[in-house]
Structure 1
């Protein structure tokens, strides 16, 4: 049987400890992530979606429980060290890129992610053909703007760049944190199609938070619903393929269709 890449084992995150407002914002969560999983994540506001990603990324320390990578305990591993195997794309297109650097400079920087960097020639010209190839797959003209400052790109192009920067080194775990939510519907759908193509082509292991039921049903091999810090629903395979929007709506409220 295939072993999980990444696991949360009985993870609890408690806030306001020792006060009347004490609450578990992650409540004894168990989650096993397997190679090639593309997991879509739904939940109403406050359900624990961002907390889940922050725990996986190391931005929030757990109160109890264990986090494992390939069976090894990494519960106390720093955010910086986790960037060696994990990448994240945020909802805000401005968060994943350096605005005064060109598209190609941003991509070159992301190629050195997790590496020790000293002084030396950056060898940007030698990478331009590669950058043109990888940006062309996004189908939004990004390949023609390699020498453009990122701050001058459209929101869709900038978010596409953020996605490419996050995946250029093929991370073991990719976190997509509502990465299409800030875009108009057409641009959002174009980026989502390109995202799915790249995840499938490169067999990436991915978790994607979304508020769109249709996207949660259409993409990925597995779907999780969070509620009050607990995983209340986790389905995969044929069960997910046969799930209807109406059936999914019966599990929770207040999520945009």
Structure 2
């Protein structure tokens, strides 16, 4: 068994605290993520999937419990500080990219993720061949639009760029927050295929939220199901391979 890269211990979150609408979202989440895990995350709306990602990313503070990265307690580490080892791709293609900057400029910016960025020569031209080669792996023509403003891209190309930006500087942990949900079926399939290939090729550790149960079964080595703020299933290996969509539906009942 590989060393845990991230551990969540008894994580609890509460919203509207001390009001009549006080609600506990995550209810004692315990999750150990090992290097190389590709975990698909399923659950009904309101199950706590996005809240889980927000807690891991540091966007939302926890009310109880601890989070460890490589054995170091990061429970109270800021969201900005966590970008040194964590990257995230959101559902909305407009998030994660700068619309007025070109594709190449966005990719150059991503190479400095988590770093202090003083004034320095960009040296963009020397990076163009590398960026073009990376863009070509998306199989959607992005490599031909390196000098195009990102806001002028199609939704699929912009989301592919977001994915490249999240992975260009290999993160310890990649969070894919329904990153294909806003795309048409053909574009979604292409991006999922490219995602799977990059994760395998670069041996990335990733969590992917999806509402498509077939995708949850097809991708990754491990699957977790959330319900009412708790992990009700955590399957991997042969057990995951034997799961069916019908089995997953039982988690939602």
Aligned to 2:65: 65
Moved more, 14-23 or 85-94: 14-23
RMSD of equivalent CA atoms = 0.8
Indicate the residue corresponding to 1:79 in structure 2.
Answer: 79
In structure 1, distance between residues paired with 2:232 and 2:22: 22
Report what 1:179 is aligned to: 179
Q: CA deviation at 1:2?
A: 2.2
Q: TM-score, normalised by structure 2?
A: 0.98
Pairs within 5 Å for 1:97-246:
97-246=97-246
Residues 117-152 of structure 1, C-alpha deviations (whole Å, 9 max, x = no match): 111210000000100111111111100110111111
Deviations 1:69-107 (A, max 9, x none): 011111000000000000000000000111110000000
Residue number in structure 2 paired with 1:50 = 50
Counterpart position of 2:252: 252
Name the residue aligned to 1:28. 28
SS in 2 for 1:81: helix
Which structure 1 residue ranges, 5 or more long, are not aligned? none
Number of equivalences: 253
Q: Which runs of 4+ in 1 moved over 3 A?
A: none
Measured in 2, the distance between the counterparts of 1:149 and 1:213 equals 35
CA distance in 2, matches of 1:115, 1:12: 30
Distance 1:24 1:51 in 2: 11
